[in-house]
Structure 1
Amino acid sequence: MVWMATQQLAIRGKRRRIWGGALLCWVLLMLVTPKISHSPKHHLYADMRNFVGVPNTLNVITNFPFLVVGVLGFVLCVQGGLFNISLPGEVWGWALFYAGMAGLAFGSAYYHLKPDDIRVTWDTLPMMIAYSSLFSSFMVERVGERIGLSCLFALLFIAFLSIAYDRTYNDIRLYMMFQLIPCLAIPAMSFVFPPKYTHSRYWLWAAGVYLLAKFESVADGKIYHANRFIISGHSLEHLCLVMVPVLLSIMLMNRNIKCQRIGTFKECS
């Protein structure tokens, strides 16, 4: 009994350190970085061609794969069987992740039809919901179901808070941090917390693909000129980002339980 109580205190201490570290990073970044306001330049993309009457055609239609992967992933999560998901908390997280991917297809397409400061909210919000759910699923797997679900609700609250903060103060820093921190935290925590399932390397591959997509977005114009105006870096970012749920879907289909948690105990094969 004493040992179990000690383990519970250790888990609570770990939970406090996780949240404390995240809060400290957020406060430090907000203090040391200047305000980043919206600018008309943010909505100017290298490829703004109009085909068959659709403005910014390639930036719009390259969102379609998000809808396909999002809908299929959501259905497979809800039905069960093909995806190896063993905890209810994981079902919530993964289903919401795929729902966010499907929502991103509509939100990003709507934004790219007429890019401006108002429409960009519909591009960023489903993406932030997907990030929150993905990080929650990772926490459920690596740390525990209760901590993972608390992360889900906390991150969803922060996502809506960052949107409200942006609309009120014209400052996109919270949104940018929201994208950056999970991308760095998942690879770092992969080496700290043991995986419950096999095929955990897919988490690192997905993080690598995400970073590649961000590079393509930054190099939008340079990539567009390099391939002789066939496709821009931003359109390639869309196609690259959709590989994140594809890789994670492959992981869910092929993984097996490696370490089973029972209460505060771990039983590993």
Structure 2
Amino acid sequence: MKSLPHYLPTAVTLLLAAAALFHGPIHQPDGYHDFADQSLVWGVPHFCDVTSNLGFALAAFWGWLRMAPAADHDDLRHGWAGYRLFLGGLFLTALGSTWYHLAPDNARLVWDRLPIALACAGLLAGVLGDVRRRDSGGMAGLLALAAVASVAWWYFTDLAGAGDLRPYLLLQGLPILLIPLWQWIYRAPTADRLAFGGALAIYIVAKLTEANDHAIAAVLGPLTGHTLKHLLATGAAALIVGRLVFRLRVPRPAGAAACRPAPPSAMSACR
């Protein structure tokens, strides 16, 4: 029988979904596409916002290069389907965000938001498979569908004149709350908790810089809030990828595979 903490992630998800439902539609702010970066360098408009996406592709390429050959590794195989979706979403974010920032509008924004939603879905599925020691393929598929649906909901409601970001924002918010909960409940290694927790904290800061795009540009000049958001989000992604890659290099002590997923009530058998 599951202990009470095991129900917390479900409760948090239901509460957030209920809050979003009762809140009502969340619309995209007016002037959303009016970014502070209006530079033109070597014929590339919004140069800093465009080129700062390169880091996403590099982090994804590094992760894929190191993890794909080790997909059957005991420290990766359960979460690999999710992490594979995360890396794919990360790489597509570099492409989609670059395309969007060259000429920002809602039609192009779809191809920016969709990869981000897929990356969030993949991260959720990967961590859940990781901590529960169960294959994440099914969950990755379901969450990928949810990611596509969340962006489609925003886009088609926007075409109808009432764009609603609630599902998309919910999918971005869930990893920030659920990943630390899952890692605590299932006793993930401390290094995992620190790396993922640090990455999530950096991502929160990135979202704050995004919301203060023009104010930061007024202080830092060419380094606008949105450009800084890209750089910080890249750092967050690289921290997660780095931790996953490092896990593949460190042999696990004998018996750790059996003990890691055990709930608190069963840990005495592993001591």
Q: TM-score range by the shorter chain?
A: 0.7 to 0.9
Letter in 2 for 1:29: A
Q: 1:240 aligns with which of 228, 232, 243?
A: 232
Q: 2:32 aligns with which of 20, 23, 42?
A: 42
Structure 2, gaps ≥5 residues long: 158-162
Aligned residues: 256
Alignment pair present for 1:77 and 2:67: yes
**Which residue is equivalent to 2:126?**
137
Give the structure-1-normalised TM-score.
Answer: 0.83
Structure-2 change in CA distance of 1:136 and 1:268 (3 Å) = farther
Alignment pair present for 1:192 and 2:185: yes
CA distance in 2, matches of 1:85, 1:43: 44
Letter in 1 for 2:2: A
CA distance in 2, matches of 1:137, 1:26: 21
Q: 2:171 aligns with which of 171, 178, 183?
A: 178
Q: 1:154 aligns with which of 120, 124, 142?
A: 142
Structure-2 change in CA distance of 1:115 and 1:49 (3 Å) = same
**Which residue is equivalent to 1:6?**
none
Structure-2 change in CA distance of 1:249 and 1:85 (3 Å) = farther
Per-residue CA distance 1:65-100 (angstroms, 9 max, x = gap): 11111112112111129x965343322222221111
| Residues 131, 261 of structure 2: 8 Å contact kept | no
Per the TM alignment, residue 263 of structure 1 is displaced from its structure 2 partner at its CA by 11
Letter in 2 for 1:76: R
| Residues 142, 196 of structure 1: 8 Å contact kept | no
How do 1:202-217 residues align onto structure 2 when only pairs under 5 Å count? Answer: 202-217=195-210
Q: 1:28 aligns with which of 15, 19, 40?
A: 19
Question: Over aligned residue pairs, what C-alpha RMSD do you find?
Answer: 2.8
**Which residue is equivalent to 2:243?**
251
SS of aligned partner of 2:107: coil
Q: 1:260 aligns with which of 228, 232, 257?
A: 257
Give the structure-2-normalised TM-score.
Answer: 0.83
Moved more, 70-79 or 192-201: 192-201
Letter in 1 for 2:144: L
| Residues 38, 117 of structure 1: 8 Å contact kept | no
Structure-2 change in CA distance of 1:199 and 1:37 (3 Å) = closer
Alignment pair present for 1:107 and 2:104: no
Letter in 1 for 2:78: G
CA distance in 2, matches of 1:62, 1:85: 34
Letter in 2 for 1:153: G
Structure 1, gaps ≥5 residues long: 1-8
| Residues 188, 260 of structure 2: 8 Å contact kept | no
